[in-house]
Amino acid sequence: MKYRVMVTGAAGQLGHDVVKIFQAGGHDVMACDRDQLDITDQQQCREKITAFQPHIIVHCAAYTAVDRAETDEDMAYMVNVTGTRNIAVAAEKVKAKLIYISTDYVFDGSATRPYQEYDPTNPQTVYGKSKLAGERLVESLCTRWFIIRTSWVFGVHGSNFVKTMLELLVKRPQLQVVHDQQGSPTYTVDLARIVSELSLTEKYGIYHVSNSGTCTWYEFAQAIAEEASKHNRFQLRAVIEPCTTEQFPRPAPRPQYSVMDHLAIRTNGLKPMRTWREALIAFLNELSVQQSE
């Protein structure tokens, strides 16, 4: 069946791949970036969604500047909470399924085992608090919803840790990367596949979605250097050294441990995600192709 699918934040690194996967599936996609839709304007959201009558809305638009949110609290809440409410209310009016993209930052990072979907949340940052508030509005205002929490996202269409590392590995002789924060990287192509797969079901609820396996930022950086060195396109020179979080203080505290257990993926019979290392290799191949075009 062909569905009408609306994607907010369509120019972002995840939104871009979500649009691509639904278009490849033959669906009618309305790709909305901030130029086409101001999610903080309730009337505009209602009019746009009422006119298109989507079956599915994938809400990727978000305020994601984690450090800036600490001093720009009102804007973070306006986008992540007010904006999400506007989309949720309009989605419910047309009986659309709503997929809300959330984050590992809803947890405090003090766990010693992977976080499951219904573990208690305890965000420590303005960003995390605003995204959790968005989750709660989706749960309370919609009858057909999926909340997808993800972490350490990377894709070819935006800025992210992998791209930053590739740039710095070329420019600098030495790099320090934190070795005391652990998580699970997520490739946007794989995340978009799960978004698409779930949206065509009625398996509503909260999902933790990341590539399989865990690493620290330092181990991730090492893997980036190792895999990128196999490509002639990347001329790397930097030596990577581990350091502590204390050596790199940031305005917003990072979760020390944000590994997510994929309990809902397993119990709903979905195919597990490939390892983050395999995803990294696929990303580097995709990036090479894009850069050579």
Reported as a single tens digit per residue, the pLDDT across 106-163 is 999 999 999 999 999 999 999 999 999 999 999 999 999 999 999 999 999 989 999 9
What CATH number is attached to the domain comprising 43?
A: 3.40.50.720
User: Strands 153-154 and 174-178, how do they pair?
Assistant: unpaired
Contact yes or no for 5/97 (Cβ under 8 A):
no
Over residues 72-112, the pLDDT tens digits come to 999 999 999 999 999 999 999 999 999 999 999 999 999 99
127 is catalytic: yes
User: 249 lies in a domain?
Assistant: no
User: 165 lies in a domain?
Assistant: no
User: What's the start-to-end Cα distance of the chain, in Å?
Assistant: 34
User: 98 lies in a domain?
Assistant: yes
User: 244 lies in a domain?
Assistant: no
Closest by CA position to 78, among listed 35, 133, 124? 133
Q: Which of 77, 105, 127, 207 is catalytic?
A: 127
Cα distance between residue 245 and residue 248, in whole Å:
5
Is residue 256 scored above 80 in pLDDT? yes
User: 252 lies in a domain?
Assistant: no
Q: Which residue range(s) make up the domain with 124?
A: 4-160+185-212+258-274
Q: Can you list the alpha helix ranges (DSSP code H) found in the chain?
A: 13-24, 42-52, 73-77, 83-93, 126-141, 161-171, 188-199, 217-228, 263-267, 276-292
Quickly state the pLDDT bin for 248 (edges 50, 70, 90).
confident
Q: How many domains does the chain have?
A: 1
Quickly state the pLDDT bin for 232 (edges 50, 70, 90).
low
Contact yes or no for 56/3 (Cβ under 8 A):
yes
Query: What is the structure's pLDDT at 233?
Result: 65
- Structure-derived torsion over alpha carbons of residues 109, 111, 113, 114, reported in degrees to the nearest 10: -30
Over residues 171-230, the pLDDT tens digits come to 888 999 999 999 999 999 999 999 999 999 999 999 999 999 999 999 999 999 999 988
Over residues 4-24, the pLDDT tens digits come to 999 999 999 999 999 999 999
Choice between 249 and 185, residue whose per-residue pLDDT is larger: 185
* C-alpha 183 chain-centroid distance: 13
